Amino acid sequence: MTAEDAAVASPFWRFSLAVYADPEVAKVCLELQDEAGADVNVLLYMLWAASRGRRLSADDVRPIVAAVEDWRKGVVVPLRTARRSLRAPPAAVDAAGSAALRSQVKKVELEAERLQQEALYRLRPVDDLGRAEPSPEAAAAANVAAYGEVIGRKFSGHAMEVLLGALKRQQARGGSK
């Protein structure tokens, strides 16, 4: 992210970039996305809300998911599908051209995800969501579990460990705001 990008990005986007930069977090998020149908942006929002001392219930999470579901399904997922399809183009398609297009699609996909996160950030002040929770780790565990409940999934203990560890590291760096 450039200095200009950082100046206009929300605290949530900056938090997400910092947390997702951890390769183990990225791996777990993508596994949850591909295997459990989780929206990585919403997962990161659950962690960010926890970093702000907010514990969310499934009733708090439902409108969050609903607010971005059309964007996720109509924009983010098709871009991801196109990017993944470009990894191995048909023999008739120029491989170098396909790789260049894949790079462009990846940039557009990232921008679509940033726009989704900015929408989540503006949805409602996070400090008004749920209830106060003095332990960010307890809030994160509850928030991720509530999200799992909303989408009808229970996330593995390993995934929870990785996500909670990332939150702890981000908190230690002073990255909750």
Q: Which of 151, 167, 146, 126 is nearest to 32 (CA)?
A: 151
**Which helix (DSSP H) or strand (DSSP E) does residue 54 occupy?**
strand 54-55
Q: Which two tokens stand for residue 149?
A: 């409940």
Q: Is 162:28 a contact under the CB 8 Å cutoff?
A: yes
Which residues, in sequence order, are bridge partners of residue 131? 55
Largest CA distance in the chain: 58
Which residues, in sequence order, are bridge partners of residue 54? 132
CA distances to 21, 50, 76, 95 from 89, in Å: 28, 41, 20, 7
> pTM for the whole thing?
0.92
Q: Which of 128, 116, 121, 118 is nearest to 71 (CA)?
A: 116
pLDDT digits (tens, 9 = 90+) for 107-149: 999 999 999 999 999 998 899 999 999 999 999 999 999 999 9
pLDDT digits (tens, 9 = 90+) for 43-63: 999 999 999 999 999 999 999
- pLDDT in the model for residue 3: 43
